[in-house]
Structure 1
Amino acid sequence: MSHGKQFTLYTQVSGPNGWKVVFVLEELGLTYESIYLDFAKAEQKGPEYTKFTPNGRIPTLIDHQNGDFTIWESDAILLYLTDKYDAEKKLTVTGDEKYSLIQWLFFQASGQGPYFGQALWFIRFHPERIPSAIERYQKETLRVFSVLDSVLSKPENGGWLVDGKPTIADLSFITWNEAAINISIKGYADVENEYPAFYAWHQKLLARDAVKKTFAIQASLQK
């Protein structure tokens, strides 16, 4: 089978993790086709998808120019893309700093995504309102904000997580932070004033051309 694009990305319109991959594809100028799974039909659990991704979650990326190499888990995809296709090290680093970058990806995957996702679930989707669960995950959201703010506020870090420059570590946090700010902790905390370094960092990331383009694509699909 021939492919006009280098990559096929299996994703979902509203799912935050798939859009993280699009940020990096756009930042690196890579060509891709997105296939949006219908979760209402449980397409992510069907055999046509789980043959690629046994976990039945999005996203999954197939690299057609690398023997249809297939990789899932969003932060693993980000590492793959920069290791293979970021020759100029635009979004990555080398030496020992690479482990600092990986450290932040692990923190995003274990400390941000799950807690922020649970906050969103109990606020938006859980069939009954459980105030104690909502409060727990809102507080965990703010704890993650405080961790990021403490690092980003240090002058020697230049307002970024790794090596004083924007990397995939920074990009990996955008979508869940955006969901938290606009939904799960809206009205619960004054993010701009209570976590100023974090807020300034998030605004810098939102202002990047690739990020603006990605969110415009998402908005067009949600009309």
Structure 2
Amino acid sequence: MPNGWKVAFVLNVLGLSYESIYLEKADIKGPEHIKHNPNGRIPTLIDHKNDDFTIWESGAILLYLIDTYDTEHKISVADSREKALLHQWLFFQTTGQGPYFGQSSWFQHFHPETLPSAIVRYQNEARRVLGVLESVLSKQEYLVGGKLTIADIAFVSYNNVIKFVIEEDFDFEGEFPKTFEWHTRVTAVDGVRKGLEERLKLITEETKVQKSSLS
């Protein structure tokens, strides 16, 4: 699930140590997780360095991490107006990109019925979100403050599976060249790259297990 990886990327970039617990689908709504996250979704963060403070919702987690641990503003900003813009883009990701990309993926790959109108609607919405990004990134390299922030990092995990979201022959670079350049730049950051490599490793291992169970 893309939302959990956003948190991993930021933890990596900030150099914070953490233990990842990967839950099976049934366990996400199980009592052990629900006691920490009553919404029964991931991610959930338990900060053992801060009296086991627990927080859920990926955007809230990212804001908590920079407020608590990014005192040097490595991936955050200090100016009040720039903070407002950072929040703006983070909320756009969590309420725009995430839901629209998720619905596009659902109706193409998981919904029990084929609903062409729903597929087209959410593919178009995904393209609209990319168009918003393109309109800004054609004028600047990053979303806020002329530097990498959590606002940029938050978009990576969904954009990284864009062909699954829109369609297999989608030309990301051709249709949205500045957004593609930005995405490539952000994914090259050490902590983000490390998270993407870990994700790929997990997918590879899961695929091997599935193949062995069928043989």
**TM-score, with length taken from structure 2:** 0.91
Specify the code of the residue in structure 2 equivalent to 1:171. Answer: I
CA distance, structure 2, for counterparts of residue 161 and residue 215 of structure 1: 21
Task: Specify which of 125, 131, 134 is matched with residue 149 of structure 1.
Answer: 134
* SS in structure 1 at match of 2:181: helix
CA distance, structure 1, for counterparts of residue 110 and residue 168 of structure 2: 19
State the shift of 1:188 in Å.
5.7
Specify the code of the residue in structure 2 equivalent to 1:165. Answer: K
> Which residue of the partner structure matches residue 149 of structure 2?
167
Whether contact under 8 Å (2:85, 2:144) holds in the other structure is yes
State the shift of 1:34 in Å.
0.6
CA distance, structure 1, for counterparts of residue 72 and residue 146 of structure 2: 16
The answer to which structure has the higher helix fraction is 2
Specify the code of the residue in structure 1 equivalent to 2:108. Answer: I
> Which residue of the partner structure matches residue 108 of structure 2?
123
Matched, 1:89 2:78: no
Matched, 1:98 2:83: yes
Q: Name the count of aligned residue pairs.
A: 203
CA distance, structure 2, for counterparts of residue 76 and residue 133 of structure 1: 30
Ranges in structure 2 where 5+ consecutive residues have no aligned partner: 206-215
Task: Specify which of 31, 34, 37 is matched with residue 50 of structure 1.
Answer: 34
Whether contact under 8 Å (2:163, 2:169) holds in the other structure is no
Task: Specify which of 19, 25, 39 is matched with residue 33 of structure 1.
Answer: 19
CA distance, structure 2, for counterparts of residue 189 and residue 212 of structure 1: 23
* SS in structure 1 at match of 2:46: strand
Matched, 1:113 2:98: yes
State the shift of 1:187 in Å.
4.3
> Which residue of the partner structure matches residue 178 of structure 1?
160
> Which residue of the partner structure matches residue 212 of structure 2?
none
State the shift of 1:189 in Å.
4.0
* SS in structure 2 at match of 1:161: coil
Specify the code of the residue in structure 2 equivalent to 1:36. Answer: Y
Matched, 1:59 2:40: no
CA distance, structure 1, for counterparts of residue 169 and residue 108 of structure 2: 12
CA distance, structure 2, for counterparts of residue 82 and residue 54 of structure 1: 24
Ranges in structure 1 where 5+ consecutive residues have no aligned partner: 1-14
* SS in structure 2 at match of 1:32: coil
Counting aligned pairs with the same residue, the percent is: 58
Q: Of the two structures, which has the highest relative contact order with CA contacts closer than 8 Å and spacing of 6 or more? A: 2
**TM-score, with length taken from structure 1:** 0.88
State the shift of 1:26 in Å.
0.3
> Which residue of the partner structure matches residue 69 of structure 1?
53
CA distance, structure 1, for counterparts of residue 29 and residue 41 of structure 2: 8
CA distance, structure 1, for counterparts of residue 22 and residue 170 of structure 2: 33
Task: Specify which of 158, 174, 180 is matched with residue 199 of structure 1.
Answer: 180
The answer to which structure has the higher strand fraction is 1
Whether contact under 8 Å (2:163, 2:170) holds in the other structure is no
Task: Specify which of 85, 95, 120 is matched with residue 135 of structure 1.
Answer: 120
